[in-house]
Amino acid sequence: MRTSLKYGSALAFTAVTALALTGCGGGDPAGPAAEGSTLTVFAAASLGEAFEELADGFEAEHPGVEVEFNVAGSSALAEQITAGAPADVFAAANQATMDTAVEAGEVSGEPAAFATNVLTLVTPPGNPAGLSSLQDAAADGVKLVVCAPQVPCGDATVTVAEEAGVELSPSSEESQVTDVLGKVTSGEADAGLVYVTDAIGAGDAVETIELAPAESAVNRYPISVLRAAGENGSGQPELARSFVDYVGSEDGQSLLEGHGFGRPG
């Protein structure tokens, strides 16, 4: 079972590397120096399952390399990165969150978009509350769960609600989209706004109601090598760059599509 990491505050480190996200093949193996290396990737919660599978392919192309993940809400990850948590790669759910790390000087090179995602409305199996629209979910007495406005899925929720002309009164606001999904699948909520990819991943545990205004709030996911990769991360920025290249490769993009993500275009 792959290791899941959680980080708090740490001292910041200095090192500068370069990044180029390519649309070509999976990248060359990192060579003998990479053997026995551990690559630490901070990834938005909505990327969890897809990146676990993607890491298997990357490790197969880089024998001796292990990819470890810290999967959480993008805003929380950005805070950990700017506090100096050791990490090699950051994959965020929107550009605004990535900009936090860029402005703090923690990103090496230029972040590049690698995927897109949109919101959908999910209910428990059988749709007990009988909902058919976002307007229904906003009605009095409906337990609606959404992401908090400061995180990417919450920012998208605000946009979608404004586009639909609906004022939402959620029963709770969560710090990451997987927590929203969890409250729906556990029956604690009548409905939740989550990414399409999360709804697909949940399978029969939820029913999905498409939202016409969702296309007004397309999240573009950026990825970048972090400054720390050269020093307090893996110490191998080239290996980190190879992972970023793999995400942008045809293999990586096809895998992400299989999980419901769109290509950046």
Cα–Cα distance between 90 and 103 in angstroms, integer? 14
Domains and CATH numbers, the chain: 32-116+220-258 (3.40.190.10), 119-216 (3.40.190.10)
Q: How far apart are CA 120 and CA 197, in angstroms?
A: 9
pTM confidence score: 0.84
Give 49 or 1, the one with higher predicted confidence: 49
Residue 250 and residue 240: Cα distance in Å, rounded? 18
Predicted local confidence at residue 4, as pLDDT: 59
pLDDT at 8 over 50: no
| CA–CA dist 129, 141 (Å, integer) | 10
Smallest Cα–Cα separation from 257: which of 53, 56, 8? 53
Neighbours of 39 (CB within 10 A): 26
Place of tokens 């979608």: 160
* Amino acid, res. 32: P
Average pLDDT over residues 74-87: 94
The confidence score (pLDDT) of residue 2 equals 59
Please name the residue that has the structure tokens 């197969």.
Answer: 60
Tens-place pLDDT, residues 15-29: 222 333 333 334 444
pLDDT of res. 228: 81
